[in-house]
């Protein structure tokens, strides 16, 4: 019982996962030549179809690993609109970010999903550093790269951020006007949740947790061992007893049905020094681009989108789109919910790019 209590406490404090049900079919990264783990993933490049192109580039001296998706009958001499996709916290380009990038490429866009610096297949030390400034810079870096890609019309660039990537996308788009259309899916405000706890469940321990982060940084600075948060391998029985959909379904998605060795909940404890003073919903009035925020009606993270959306007072246009019946993680993978989200995104980008 003590172990289960600690698993639940960890799940609530993580604030960085997403949701899926145990009924989806496991996807093995080893079964796909590009290690993609989502339904309907590309297994080979074929003429006349959507193709995938693994790429690497430098961002502030760090190697970034990404996948670029080109639409069917792609012609480098023509000009296409483009969309970059920022992955969830704990996620990587081979999971839901890749799924949405591929679906949008099927709709005619050149798209890109990249692993965050210090995470996934990208470089950077210490591993699993999870600082907001880095994640925001990652999104600027995707814009740098994709606008130079053959066939991309730099004047028709959109961005999609999923979960934690959604919060960082809001911040990136506040200043980066290369993004002409801004969309989020199941947006997660990493700083607010790291600070206050999920659903404001840890308000009484903020100073204690800041002290832990400070001590972890001091230990790193002294050359000591790096301390990680988010380290857990709960059993199926323990997962089933987690009370929140976000974490219960998130553990299933990331550790069971869509597991990938590059995907982990781990992050350096010292990252909390930056995370706990961050808030994705500040300065929302700086977004003057068209804004679309998509969230499941049953998502226990919906309150986070509801907090941010009204603050975008200067958006050229804005819409909050509910996927009826969807939880947070189900928007990552469940075909009927993905189809609704992609259809809405296609219409949004078509109108604004």
The pLDDT tens digits of the residues spanning 298-335 come to: 999 999 999 999 999 999 999 999 999 999 999 999 99
Average pLDDT, rounded, for the chain: 92
**Residue 64, both tokens:** 């970034």
Q: What are the DSSP E strand ranges found in 196-325?
A: 228-229, 267-268, 291-296, 318-323
The predicted pLDDT at position 246 comes to: 94
Confidence of residue 11 (pLDDT cuts 50, 70, 90): low
Q: How confident is the model at residue 24 (pLDDT cuts 50, 70, 90)?
A: very low
Greater model confidence, 117 or 11:
117
Question: What Å distances lie between residue 179 and 83, 143, 172, CA to CA?
Answer: 9, 8, 9
What does the domain layout of the chain look like in residue ranges?
2-352
Contacts of 170 (CB under 8 A, 6+ apart): 161, 182, 184, 187, 280, 281, 284, 287, 308
The 10s digit of each residue's pLDDT in 26-47 is 557 889 999 999 999 999 999 9
Q: Which pLDDT belongs to residue 151?
A: 98
pLDDT digits (tens, 9 = 90+) for 140-155: 999 999 999 999 999 9
Residue 2 reports pLDDT greater than 50: no
Q: How far apart are CA 107 and CA 85, in angstroms?
A: 15
Peptide bond into 126 cis (omega under 30): yes
H or E element: which one contains 305? helix 302-308
Mean pLDDT of 114-135: 97
pLDDT of residue 235: 87
> What local confidence, expressed as pLDDT, does residue 231 receive?
75
Category of 324 on φ-ψ map: left (φ > 0), alpha (ψ -120 to 50) or beta: beta
- Lowest average pLDDT, out of 4-18, 21-35, 49-63, 272-286, goes to 4-18
Residue 238 has pLDDT above 60, yes or no: yes
What would the pLDDT profile of 82-114 be if each residue is shown by its tens digit? 999 999 999 999 999 999 999 999 999 999 999
Residue 234 · residue 228 · CB < 8 Å: no
CATH of region 2-352? 3.40.50.1820
* Alpha-carbon gap, residue 127 to 124, rounded angstroms: 6
Does the pLDDT of residue 265 top 90, yes or no? no
Q: What is the pLDDT of residues 181-192, one digit of tens each?
A: 999 999 999 999
């Amino acid at each position: 019982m003590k172990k289960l209590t600690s698993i639940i406490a960890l799940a609530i404090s993580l604030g960085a996962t997403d949701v899926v049900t145990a009924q989806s079919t496991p996807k093995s990264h080893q079964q796909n030549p590009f290690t993609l783990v989502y339904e309907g993933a590309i297994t080979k490049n074929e003429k006349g179809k959507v193709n995938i192109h693994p790429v690497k580039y430098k961002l502030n001296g760090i190697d970034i690993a990404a996948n670029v998706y080109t639409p069917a009958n792609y012609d480098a001499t023509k000009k296409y609109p483009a969309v970059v996709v920022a992955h969830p916290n704990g996620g990587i380009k081979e999971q839901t970010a890749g799924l949405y990038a591929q679906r949008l490429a099927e709709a005619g866009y050149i798209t890109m999903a990249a692993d965050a610096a210090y995470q996934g297949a990208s470089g950077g030390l210490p591993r699993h550093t999870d600082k907001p400034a880095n994640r925001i810079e990652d999104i600027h870096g995707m814009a740098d790269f994709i606008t130079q890609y053959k066939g991309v019309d730099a004047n028709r660039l959109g961005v999609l951020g999923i979960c934690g990537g959604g919060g960082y996308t809001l911040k990136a788009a506040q200043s980066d006007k290369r993004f002409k259309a801004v969309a989020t899916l199941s947006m997660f405000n990493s700083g607010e949740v790291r600070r206050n706890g999920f659903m404001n469940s840890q308000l009484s321990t903020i100073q204690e947790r800041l002290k832990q982060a400070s001590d972890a940084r001091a230990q790193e600075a002294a050359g000591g061992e790096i301390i990680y948060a988010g380290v857990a391998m709960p059993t199926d029985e323990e997962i089933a007893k987690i009370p929140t959909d976000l974490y219960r379904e998130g553990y299933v998605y990331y550790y069971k049905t869509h597991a990938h060795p590059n995907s982990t909940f781990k992050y350096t404890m010292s990252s909390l020094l930056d995370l706990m003073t961050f808030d994705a919903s500040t300065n929302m009035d700086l977004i003057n681009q068209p804004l679309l925020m998509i969230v499941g009606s049953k998502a226990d993270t919906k309150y986070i989108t509801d907090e941010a959306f009204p603050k975008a007072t200067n958006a050229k246009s804005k819409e909050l789109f509910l996927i009826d019946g969807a939880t947070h993680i189900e928007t990552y993978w469940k075909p009927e919910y993905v189809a609704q989200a992609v259809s809405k995104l296609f219409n949004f980008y078509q109108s604004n790019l």
